[in-house]
Amino acid sequence: MTLDLALTTGDLPPDHWRFEAACAGTDDRPFFPTRGSSTKKARLFCWGDGEDRPECPVRLSCLNHAIENRENAGIWGGMSVRERRAEAKRRGENFPQRELPNVDEELKSLIENDIRIAESLLIRGAVPRMPSK
């Protein structure tokens, strides 16, 4: 899977910032990490390493785009959604919390399903129990 940020550019003018993205054509997973996973790889694309690897030439455009469009997921402009929200606040802009009307229910359902699977495995003896003292 590659990052569409710079590749889904069909309707964009040829001088659009996305064509200059350092992340163009790269794996998008580091930019949309699962909870608890590292954002270091994505941030390296965005910020550079302070030595050989330069900052993404369109980092500010990318960040501005994400703030203006209230992008509520992923690393944009080198920042997480929390950092973008703080940046928007610093700029005096409104960046409302995302409303997640169905996520709680979805999450609850996933957790319940995981519990059912774990219980089923325990019942079948597939998961070793903790040794009793």
Cα end-to-end distance, the chain, whole Å: 48
Query: Minimal distance in Å, beta carbon 123 to ligand SF4?
Result: 46
Nearest to 31 by CA among 71, 66, 80, 88: 80
Q: Measured from the CB atom, is 84 or 95 closer to ligand SF4?
A: 84
Q: Measured from the CB atom, is 59 or 85 closer to ligand SF4?
A: 59
Query: Minimal distance in Å, beta carbon 94 to ligand SF4?
Result: 22
Q: Measured from the CB atom, is 23 or 81 closer to ligand SF4?
A: 23
Q: Tell me the longest C-alpha to C-alpha distance in the chain.
A: 69
Q: Are 42 and 3 in contact (CB under 8 A)?
A: no
Q: Measured from the CB atom, is 45 or 95 closer to ligand SF4?
A: 45
Report which residue type is found at 102: N
- In whole angstroms, give the CA distance from residue 31 to residue 38: 10
Query: Minimal distance in Å, beta carbon 38 to ligand SF4?
Result: 15
Interface residue list for ligand SF4 (CB under 6 A): 5, 21-23, 31, 45-46, 56, 58-59, 62, 75-78
